[in-house]
Structure 1
């Protein structure tokens, strides 16, 4: 497909890289000549200097033949204007990044009025992911499928779990839990394990299960399954606002430490039940004075990655059993960050890209089986996808054990008529099902793509 991306910031560049890797024809538009000139020569995209809301700029970019326009500049209003003009100029699907909480209550009206295909709010999406983690603090990361009826949970295997050195089939026999071990990461290598795979302490493990079955398994191996009762947030930006709102609904007590006094006063007005402290969140004495030793979770959301990482490392040393969540914007040093073992790390850029890639994949095949949900997992070395099955095909009404599946691919879960389960060899996929697939075979667009050619 031909895709125009307006805005050459972190998100725009990340999208251009990933969509180009999936063999889409990409044009990047930005008003900054320096940003365009600094793009890597390895990035196979067309570059256009100009205002993405200008009809002449859009015509230069080929709006009349574009399939999708994605507006991810730093201005919500400019993004919406770009999409509005693009809809008038061509037959194109439009996606806008809209971040300001002021527009959050009006999202449906804005989408319908302008005719947007999708609105992305990275800060709200990041806050939602953090709130899921604080509900189930033993997991490093939680992704949801089938409208919350199935979850993909990532956790680190520790010696106290007594799972290292055991085959997966033996663990399943011991605990009798309806879960599926769907991936393991060890020494930079990703495995899609079978029953004979032997787990080792230190592995990063992902399982698929219903929320109830996941909690049952974690409880049996000795991991904490109850949500935290309180949290301390350093940084009072937009993510902190959205997160505090969600945590209040979960009855979790929230304290926000923010340096900017005017921002503190604003947060106090719009979050009357949240304790807002005006102060430097990197000040050790302030953190201790405001209750860090008694906190059950700590979320670092400043605008500096280095500060966030440092704060999480410090907090973990002060409070035993503390759940830490760290926001990181730059993704160039993920391998170093992973070695620091600072609990859950949130990359808002990745979350935004996942939503948009999901939409692009669904557009490529909107008849057979839509890509309903897509998550890039294990540092983008694997994907977890949810397909909605709309018609009979080569994968339906056949026992799973008889399907000629691609290597390094698991059918992780089937959801049908409100019931969700881990399938076995005798189960069959039917029209109307939602099917979750985990694989290192990147770029699947249709459920039929799980079969070998």
Structure 2
């Protein structure tokens, strides 16, 4: 089985998806179109028909929180994992296995019950309630670089983007992150709620960071925040 490792020189990453329903299949095809490596897991082999005959990713039949099934999907060299099956319990179990057993920090789970989302985000697992689910949202969470902006001004010169931050930034202040990356962080999402940080706010595990940047600095900012912080 030929499964890509971590991001290469062209920015391609390997993503593992659990659940080949409408959302999972759409996400898998979108990632492949963008040039990324994808493995998708489902207990029902017939579900893979949603991918079409031209799907170039890998399909794996099995339970998405089974460790051997995850290994068959290339989780040990994955850059991100999305649990998008039709069951909240399965999604959160799989997400926790991937984070805690395989040490993959870039994980997101689809949640049908919004009331559970805050509980799961306290465990450091970003969630998206199904009523707000779009492929763009999951792509912004999974892809460390080149993700779609949340907002851009009409001229296209300024963007508001969610960026992937290396876990080693945990405990550093937002002011330190702004200074290192040369950008502004207008708001942070934490445990399902958004707030405007002040200079003393510290980055916590599971936080989603949004930055306002000029379009020509996207790669630079993502590179700085996606790597380890400078020595304190």
User: How does the TM-score come out when normalised to structure 1?
Assistant: 0.32
Structure 1 residues 225-244: aligned runs within 5 Å: none
1:364 to 98, 120, 145: 145
Structure 1 residues 33-72: aligned runs within 5 Å: 33-72=45-84
Q: Is the 8 A contact 1:354 1:375 kept in 2?
A: no
Take 2:141 and 2:98, find their aligned partners in 1: how far apart are those partners?
Answer: 18
Take 2:211 and 2:139, find their aligned partners in 1: how far apart are those partners?
Answer: 22
Instruction: In structure 2, list runs of 5 or more residues that go unmatched.
Output: 1-12, 163-177, 187-195, 197-209, 223-232
- For the pair shown, the structure with the greater C-alpha radius of gyration is 1
Give the match's secondary structure for 2:51: coil
Take 1:112 and 1:80, find their aligned partners in 2: how far apart are those partners?
Answer: 12
Q: Is the 8 A contact 2:29 2:51 kept in 1?
A: no
Give the match's secondary structure for 1:26: strand
Higher RCO (C-alpha under 8 Å, 6+ residues apart): 2
2:150 to 352, 358, 374: 374
Take 2:42 and 2:80, find their aligned partners in 1: how far apart are those partners?
Answer: 17
Take 1:435 and 1:8, find their aligned partners in 2: how far apart are those partners?
Answer: 35
Aligned length: 166
2:113 to 92, 100, 106: 100
Take 2:214 and 2:23, find their aligned partners in 1: how far apart are those partners?
Answer: 27
1:27 to 34, 39, 45: 39
Q: Is the 8 A contact 2:83 2:108 kept in 1?
A: yes
C-alpha distance after superposition, 1:345-377 (max 9, x if no partner): xxxxxx52111111234x238xxxxx694369x
Aligned to 1:446: 219
User: C-alpha displacement at 1:387, in angstroms?
Assistant: 4.2
Q: Is the 8 A contact 1:4 1:28 kept in 2?
A: yes
Take 1:39 and 1:63, find their aligned partners in 2: how far apart are those partners?
Answer: 20
C-alpha distance after superposition, 1:281-340 (max 9, x if no partner): xxxxxxxxxxxxxxxxxxxxxxxxxxxxxxxxxxxxxxxxxxxxxxxxxxxxxxxxxxxx
Aligned to 1:91: 103
Structure 1 vs Structure 2 CA RMSD: 3.5
Take 2:159 and 2:40, find their aligned partners in 1: how far apart are those partners?
Answer: 27
Take 1:415 and 1:4, find their aligned partners in 2: how far apart are those partners?
Answer: 29
Alignment pair present for 1:111 and 2:124: no
